[in-house]
Chain A
Amino acid sequence: MTEKEVLDELKTIVVERLRFDPARAADMTSDTTLPKGVDGSLGLDSLDFIELSVGIEERFGIVIDERQDLSDEFLSFGSLARFILSKSPAA
């Protein structure tokens, strides 16, 4: 999978599970930041991140350990896509 393909899958998750407007999702890029408190981000909070993790686990067949501090990996779509690729069984 390429980083772009992962990004597209993430956008689908963000629309289906996090209920973002599809039109808004179309404009999201790998630079789009995610967490609340970061200027211009999607404003995701802890519950959004749990939902996002479950979606990622289902879509990509990986396991995310919630005990790990993954705030760097979840900072932007780009960092998240690279994290997912690093964990995927078949790149």
Chain B
Amino acid sequence: MAGSAAPAPSRGRSRVVVTGMGTVNALTSGGRGAVVEALAAERSGIGPLRAFAPEPGGSGLAAEVDDGRLAALIDGAEARRLSRICRLAVAACRLAVEDAAIAPGAELGLVVGSEHGDFRSSEEFAGGYLRRGPAGLSPMIFPNTVMNTMASVAAIAVGARAASVTINQATVVGDLAVARGAALVANGSARAVVAGGVDEICEIVYRHLCRLGALSPMGGRAPEGCRPYAADHNGPVLGEGATFLVLEALDAARARGASIVAEIADMAWGSVPAAPHAGGARTLDRGSPVRRLLSARARPFARCYGAANGDPGVDDWERALLAQDLGKGAATPTSLAPRFGQHGGLGALRVAAAALDAAHGGAPVLVHGIARGGCRTALIVGESSAA
């Protein structure tokens, strides 16, 4: 029979550790040091919207990435061919891979989560046709109208040739990407995976969300702002950026002397039955894998990061779900939304923060998430005993 690449050796389940981080967010860009710096910063990344004129009566706030800082991360020749959201993804994936000092190859996978993808390019592509007919259709822009474009270019940039996956979901897509990435490492599909999320603020998505009444101030109730779990919470504030973690099989990380931050000790994702876009504290988990994971925990967590972002439909729901599974005494989780704004990279930032906490030892840290429509996630991040 004709030859082919040698079959992959059989692997059992691997333990999964975090060996690198890369982030481009409203406050910082860089490797794990930039994550630490952003989390410790006195100021929030949310400020008055700069990129375009705010929608009248809509949201005037956003957590934006400065274009100058982004330009410094991608050289001109590369930038020519990358849409803005692709530049964010490529920059952050490269930073993560450099931070981990991990090699490219057929054993390196990629998982990218995004809430809205490259809608800017979709609008541009359609606009070309609407203005000039078929000749106005740009072949170069077209690939960006498919949400896997960020993963395509990032895989090329970092040489990731194992599975590359793109996931779409609201609110918790960063958590989902890290969970799926960890699963790919745990079951031996890849030796390491770069996993995280990315979104950019573009005018068409922003105006659509304003008109849907999906951003603070929801219902026009002042003041505007991101106040997760607070009694006067009135909606999320948009952010943008990309954050990726390098997840690696423990034995491979040890073998190459990687700098291990923490371990993804366990994870689960599942669904709480809710209509699309619906959310609310009255809808409880009917036995999803997340409920099974959390209600089986005997020992309390050192800390919990939550997906709550100021949207009452998310905040109240998260509190109710955590009370259901961890008991009514569960402490209010920490939200990073006031710092970075709501975007696809936020879930990965939560896991990164949890990993940095867990690195100091002590009980594991929970990263919990729930989205309107019922997608629920949980990652348990612990100290790596190999660290």
A contacting B, Cβ–Cβ less than 8 Å: yes
A positions within 8 Å CB-CB of B: 17-21, 43, 47-48, 50-51, 54, 57-58
**Extra 7 A-B pairs, beta carbons < 8 Å, given A21-B76, A54-B135, A58-B132:** A18-B140, A19-B81, A47-B139, A51-B138, A51-B140, A54-B137, A54-B139
Interface digits, B74-103 against A, CB 8 Å rule (1 contact, 0 not)? 001100110000000000000000000000
5 cross-chain CB contacts under 8 A: A17-B140, A18-B80, A50-B139, A51-B140, A54-B139
Question: Which of chain A's residues has its CB closest to B76's CB?
Answer: A21
Q: Which 6 A-B pairs have the closest CB atoms?
A: A58-B135, A50-B139, A51-B140, A19-B80, A51-B139, A47-B140
Give min CB distance, B146 to chain A, whole Å.
14
Contact status A48-B140, CB under 8 Å: yes
Residues of B within 8 A of A (CB-CB), count: 12
Give min CB distance, B263 to chain A, whole Å.
41
Report the separation of the CA atoms of residues A43 and B78 in the bound assembly, to the nearest whole angstrom.
Answer: 11
Give min CB distance, B351 to chain A, whole Å.
35
Give min CB distance, A65 to chain B, whole Å.
16
Give min CB distance, B156 to chain A, whole Å.
11
Give min CB distance, B157 to chain A, whole Å.
15
Q: Is the interface of B mostly helix, strand, loop or mixed?
A: helix
B positions within 8 Å CB-CB of A: 76-77, 80-81, 132, 135-140, 143
Contact status B77-A43, CB under 8 Å: yes
Report the separation of the CA atoms of residues A21 and B71 in the bound assembly, to the nearest whole angstrom.
Answer: 14
CB neighbours of A57 from chain B (8 A): 135
Report the separation of the CA atoms of residues A54 and B135 in the bound assembly, to the nearest whole angstrom.
Answer: 7
CB neighbours of A54 from chain B (8 A): 135, 137-139
Report the separation of the CA atoms of residues A48 and B132 in the bound assembly, to the nearest whole angstrom.
Answer: 20
Give min CB distance, A35 to chain B, whole Å.
14
Question: Which of chain B's residues has its CB closest to A17's CB?
Answer: B138
Report the separation of the CA atoms of residues A54 and B77 in the bound assembly, to the nearest whole angstrom.
Answer: 21
CB neighbours of B135 from chain A (8 A): 54, 57-58
Give min CB distance, A22 to chain B, whole Å.
13
Give min CB distance, B218 to chain A, whole Å.
38
CB neighbours of A48 from chain B (8 A): 81, 140
Give min CB distance, B62 to chain A, whole Å.
25
Question: Which of chain A's residues has its CB closest to B133's CB?
Answer: A58
Give min CB distance, A48 to chain B, whole Å.
7
Give min CB distance, A12 to chain B, whole Å.
14
CB neighbours of B143 from chain A (8 A): 47
Question: Which of chain A's residues has its CB closest to B132's CB?
Answer: A58
Give min CB distance, A64 to chain B, whole Å.
12
Report the separation of the CA atoms of residues A17 and B135 in the bound assembly, to the nearest whole angstrom.
Answer: 12
Question: Which of chain A's residues has its CB closest to B137's CB?
Answer: A54
Question: Which of chain A's residues has its CB closest to B77's CB?
Answer: A43
Report the separation of the CA atoms of residues A51 and B67 in the bound assembly, to the nearest whole angstrom.
Answer: 26
CB neighbours of B140 from chain A (8 A): 17-18, 47-48, 50-51
Report the separation of the CA atoms of residues A48 and B135 in the bound assembly, to the nearest whole angstrom.
Answer: 15
Report the separation of the CA atoms of residues A19 and B143 in the bound assembly, to the nearest whole angstrom.
Answer: 16
Give min CB distance, B229 to chain A, whole Å.
44
Report the separation of the CA atoms of residues A64 and B27 in the bound assembly, to the nearest whole angstrom.
Answer: 48
Give min CB distance, A58 to chain B, whole Å.
4
Report the separation of the CA atoms of residues A51 and B135 in the bound assembly, to the nearest whole angstrom.
Answer: 10
CB neighbours of A21 from chain B (8 A): 76
Give min CB distance, A42 to chain B, whole Å.
9
Report the separation of the CA atoms of residues A47 and B138 in the bound assembly, to the nearest whole angstrom.
Answer: 10
CB neighbours of A58 from chain B (8 A): 132, 135-136
Residue among B81, B135, B139 with most chain A CB within 10 A: B139
Question: Which of chain B's residues has its CB closest to A46's CB?
Answer: B139
CB neighbours of B139 from chain A (8 A): 47, 50-51, 54
CB neighbours of B81 from chain A (8 A): 19, 48
Give min CB distance, A90 to chain B, whole Å.
19
Report the separation of the CA atoms of residues A21 and B143 in the bound assembly, to the nearest whole angstrom.
Answer: 22
